[in-house]
Structure 1
Amino acid sequence: MSTHAAPNKRITVGDLAAKKQAGEPIVMVTAYDYPGAQIAEAAGVDLVLVGDSGAMTVLGYDSTVPVTTDEMLMLTKAVRRGLTAPLLVGDLPFGSYEGSDALALATAQRFVKEAGVDLVKIERGGTSVDRARALVGSGIPVVGHVGLTPQTATALGGYRAQGRTAEAALAVIDDALALQDAGCSLLVIEAVPSQVTAALMPLLEIPVIGIGAGADADGQVLVFHDLLGIYGGPAAKFVKRYASLREAAIDGIAAYADEVRSGAYPGPEHGYAMADAEAERLREMLAGR
């Protein structure tokens, strides 16, 4: 049985930096609604990411690209209401920040003001480095994301590992360094060979959260629905399932359906009753109509 305990104080970005310096692993998980946030809180994680992965796991899209800013804000606000101690990170969806610094700032400000996020996350290097610098300059903490970036997975050849050649690995490392130089507080590195992460870590001063990037990162993140076995779609190689809640939920609902159809549910113990005298009065009232 787990011996987890929820943190007793609000976690800060400075706490994550201290964890990195102390070699204490950082725990991050996604969540997309109020109950999920409460579960993550009770489990004692350090950060909760409202990822655009919710487009697929919660909203039923076939990729992260179609999800809108308003949809992401709805999910993020629900998570905020269920979260106290862990830091809350909001994913800026595709098309909501790439076009200009002004667009990025307007979107990020909505996530801060309307959803109460502690940090916003953006993907890729390139022009996203400029967006990160503008957001940090305006006082909004930023999480960078390199390696496999789902919003641009088509351009990267699909959902596959990145940085498999020395040249491609160097490009990932350059993106990471550029995002750090732009002032990012944190970096997510996804689906790269463990050797790339190992080569990158001595070059970075900010905490690094890995997902399918080996054990050398300062912490790890997994998708809530993947690690709990809720999502029925295919799982990436790096996913480890710690529970099988989808099967348990199907079994539970099927048992409920069987009992409804057989008449076993509801039983007397599941209902409410009137006093005998009131029931008799009701029968008399109806008979008198």
Structure 2
Amino acid sequence: MSTHGKQKRLTTTTIRAMKGKERVVCLTAYTTPIARLLDPHCDLLLVGDSLGMVLYGMDTTVGVTLDMMIAHGRAVMRAVSHACVIVDLPFGSYQESKEQAFRNAVRVLQESGCDGIKLEGGEEMAETVAFLTARGVPVFGHVGLMPQLVNTAGGFRSLGHSQQEADKIRRDAAAVAEAGAFAIVVEGTVEPLAREITTSVAVPTIGIGASPACDGQVLVSDDMLGLFNDFKPRFVKRFADLSPLVSKAAESYAEDVRAGRFPGEEHTFQIRR
């Protein structure tokens, strides 16, 4: 099949090369319609395991499965023509061994068609990152606050306040970068530390609750769009407030149905004569 005239999407190599040159724009995407709207404006679309909380109402990301990630990765890939697409490996799908990580990463790449995978972890995952990248699997790292470790970390909170925490995050970022990750998410990390890490690693840092000095930024799209009235972390800026619009539209629809105003004649099919 000829690919002549087909627009080339950004790759993990492109993203890595943006370090120190231009900011990387990243948002989460879980569905085809949203991915289609975000794609022209983003360098990177992340099919994050945050979908467990955003789409499925889970309290944490721990219950997300590999099959869920592949299904949503496939949905996003149907929409994109510009952005590089990365899919999270969910909790339990890569921590056991580097071989397990490779098998499941290959499944994600083959079955979704995405460009690479993201996994959480620092020093303890460096060997796995190196194993994957040496075998053709692009890896997006993730240090600082790691949502998959919420049960051992004592909840969601910012990190790097103590010297011990800061030193650990520094070592984690260095280890993942040296192991071959093409970029690293730095999440929930105190600003001066995130800034320092950005200058010290050779690959782009993508901040979320980190620092404006990071090489790029990522937000959960539903947070950025204001689809949650009851939840607004400190690090989120709402660029729209869609929740009341959705609610109002549903209210207007309900009123029209109950009053017999919808559907009108223009919304029905008549017999052709």
TM-score (norm 2): 0.94
Residues 235-273 of structure 1, C-alpha deviations (whole Å, 9 max, x = no match): 221011111112111110110000000111111111121
Q: Which residue does 1:104 correspond to in 2?
A: 101
110, 113, 116: which one aligns with 2:110: 113
22, 28, 31: which one aligns with 2:29: 31
How far off its partner does 1:233 sit?
4.6
Q: Which amino acid aligns with 1:127?
A: E
Instruction: Check the 8 A contact 2:204/2:215 in 1, yes or no.
Output: yes
Residues 123-168 of structure 1, C-alpha deviations (whole Å, 9 max, x = no match): 0113321211111111101011000000002212210001111221
User: RMSD of aligned C-alpha atoms?
Assistant: 1.3
Sort the Cα spacing of 1:232 and 1:109 in 2 relative to 1 into closer, same or farther, 3 A.
farther
215, 224, 243: which one aligns with 1:227: 224
Matched, 1:210 2:191: no
Q: Could you list the runs of 5+ residues in structure 2 that have no partner in the other structure?
A: 1-6
Q: Which residue does 2:16 correspond to in 1?
A: 17
Larger Rg: 1
Q: d(CA) in 1 for partners of 2:144 and 2:230?
A: 22
Instruction: Check the 8 A contact 2:88/2:117 in 1, yes or no.
Output: yes
- Is the partner of 1:20 in helix, strand or coil? coil
Q: d(CA) in 2 for partners of 1:101 and 1:14?
A: 23
Q: Which residue does 2:120 correspond to in 1?
A: 123
How far off its partner does 1:9 sit?
4.1
- Is the partner of 2:85 in helix, strand or coil? strand
How far off its partner does 1:232 sit?
4.5
Instruction: Check the 8 A contact 2:32/2:79 in 1, yes or no.
Output: yes
Q: Give runs of aligned pairs for residues 65-80 of structure 1, distance below 5 A.
A: 65-80=62-77
Matched, 1:192 2:189: yes
Q: d(CA) in 2 for partners of 1:202 and 1:227?
A: 27
- Is the partner of 1:75 in helix, strand or coil? helix
**Higher RCO (Cα < 8 Å, 6 or more apart):** 2
Instruction: Check the 8 A contact 1:98/1:127 in 2, yes or no.
Output: no
Q: Which amino acid aligns with 1:12?
A: T
TM-score (norm 1): 0.89
Q: Could you list the runs of 5+ residues in structure 1 that have no partner in the other structure?
A: 1-7, 279-289
What percentage of residue pairs aligned between the two structures are identical?
38
Q: Which amino acid aligns with 1:111?
A: V
